[in-house]
Copies of this chain bind each other. A is one copy, B any other.
Amino acid sequence: MNILFIMFDQLRFDYLSCAGHPHLHTPHIDSIAEKGVRFTRAYVQSPVCGASRMSCYTGRYASSHGAQYNGYPLRVGEITLGDHLRGAGMGCWLIGKTHMVVDAKGMERLGLARDSVVGARQAECGFDVWQRDDGLWAEGPDGFYDAKRSPYNEFLKSKGYPGDNPWNDFANSAAQEGDIASGWFMANADKPANIAEEDSETPWLTSEVIRFIEQAEGPWCAHVSYIKPHWPYIVPAPYHDMYGPNHVPAATRHPSERIDPHPVYGAFMNNVIGQAFARDEVRQKVIPAYMGLIKQIDDQMGRLFGFLKETGRMDDTMIVITSDHGDYLGDHWLGEKDLFHDPSVKVPLIIYDPRAGADATRGTTSDALVQAIDLAPTFLEAAGGEPAGHILEGRSLRPLLHGETPEDWRDFAISEYDYANSPACTKLGVTPRDARLFMVADKRWKFMHAEGGFRPMLFDLENDPQELVDLGANAAHADVIALMYERLGKWGRRMSQRVTRSDADIEAARGKGRRKGILLGVFEGADVDDHLTVKYRGPIPQNGPDQGR
């Protein structure tokens, strides 16, 4: 079996027709849901690209792998999905974005060269690279364009798009009277990107995936990682005007949310992004483009799945469709991601498992509490590897895919967010160490703890599914809050770093202490089996008369 692990960037859980979107029709993605299981309570471990992805690629919570925000290097030696899968005989390839930043100091400390196989994998979060492209080839006074890191940009140049950064000037900008109309300016979101549709990012990456599969020798796991529908919010024709303001759902927000909000929530509401998305004109410009990007994605999925069918790969390939986090798009007076309302922290997760064991669940949904870190153990199990519960903190989803309902499935999900880099942190006067948020969610309640002396937040998901009423200061819910703190405490005490010794190793070693010749608590020889004391009895060794003493 192979694994096609498809991740979109910033794709909301509810912007698919299979998830009930009223205007967006995504038949190709829906076709996978029809063949597999769609999880309706899938949470990312951190609602921001870098940290969320490092959790997916290590199968570990953000606090466990330590790369808690964009641009924080993943420490050298952290064990990755690639390490696990290769150990089980499955290749692990990257086609697209990871947001990985190399731990250059750690590599230097260990003398690892980037151009060695080991060094390259360390630098690429454990993947072997087919194409690495993180998108975002921004320029400016301190821009970070890097030809080696931008195969898409190089592709555009090879196609004749002029200038140093056609990613910026064409793929992510419109043309307006001969001038660049940048996608960075949301006012331009309703314009068509100044690029042939087939040359835009999503079709380019899809072509790379097909090219990879055509030559791949299995078993393989391919992490197919699209930058879209992530901003800049701009899409080429014909997708730019498929949707208009009349297709924009009303924002999930209420004026009462702005009255005495939790201080951290309030600070995010008041940042430039929150203020922008509070404006209806911004939503009406951006959301149709966002929908167009998703429609384009779905069409490309149609192309990809068609290829799989033609080549027989649909029968031996597990297909996973998910996202690294969502997008507020003005809900709750916020833009971007960051906090723990559903539009941000809940993601689409659809898994098609070709094995017969999954026949019973095809076309169903599961409302189990699942986490992005469950994917790595799911893949490892599919690859036939030994479970690695001392390293991987998620749980294999196989039982859920195969119609089993494990009684001991988790009863709460965890997500984290480190906002130490944000202006909110400065504004609130919080130290980097205290700028951390924790979500604990079960099926009824969603709780948020903020370090730094703040009160918690709490939503009643049953009576307030839109998460509009924060009960965190409500004394009537003290019991729920206490329970959530108890769960958070249990999670905080979890065994997360004993990565060099498995539970099975420990169990196998039990009781062997005495056999190593270490005798503790023995008063005299009669207290212990003779065979353990063979060296501790008998005549003193002699070298002869000149034994030197």
Contacts and interface: CB of A to CB of B under 8 A. Distances in A.
Interface of A: 63-69, 71-77, 79, 83, 103, 105-106, 109-112, 116, 118, 122, 136, 138-144, 159-166, 168-170, 173, 175, 178-180, 182, 184-187, 194, 196, 231, 271-277, 279, 281-282, 285, 335-336, 389, 418, 420-421, 423, 425-426, 431-433, 436, 438, 449, 451, 485-486, 488-489, 491-493, 495-501, 503, 506-507, 509-513, 515-525, 527, 531-543, 546-549
22 contacts: A63-B495, A66-B500, A67-B498, A77-B106, A77-B109, A111-B112, A140-B534, A141-B515, A141-B531, A162-B543, A180-B540, A185-B519, A186-B523, A186-B524, A272-B520, A277-B521, A335-B521, A420-B506, A421-B509, A423-B511, A426-B510, A432-B503
A265 to B, nearest CB: 17
Closest CB pairs A-B (n = 10): A160-B548, A492-B492, A140-B517, A163-B541, A66-B497, A77-B77, A138-B517, A273-B521, A182-B536, A162-B543
Contacts of A159: 548-549
Contacts of A542: 162
A516 B512 CA distance: 58
A60 to B, nearest CB: 9
A64 to B, nearest CB: 6
A185 B272 contact: no
A390 to B, nearest CB: 8
A63 B515 contact: no
A161 B169 CA distance: 81
Contacts of A139: 517, 535
Given A72-B501, A187-B523, A421 B143 contact: no
A533 B187 CA distance: 14
B432 A507 contact: yes
Contacts of A69: 501
A499 to B, nearest CB: 6
Contacts of A186: 522-524
A495 B436 contact: yes
B75 A523 contact: no
Contact of A535 (B109, B140, B273, B525): B140
A187 B524 contact: yes
A279 to B, nearest CB: 7
Nearest to A183: B536
Nearest to A492: B492
B493 A492 contact: yes
B522 A185 contact: yes
Contacts of A196: 549
B140 A421 contact: no
Nearest to A78: B77
Contacts of A515: 140-142
Nearest to A512: B142
A136 B141 CA distance: 62
A143 B517 contact: yes
A324 B483 CA distance: 37
Nearest to A524: B187
Nearest to A521: B273
A438 B451 CA distance: 21
A540 B179 contact: yes
Given A111-B118, A180-B539, A523-B185, A516 B72 contact: no
Contacts of A485: 486, 489
Q: Which of A77, A142, A163, A518 has the largest number of chain B CB atoms within 10 A? A: A77
A94 to B, nearest CB: 18
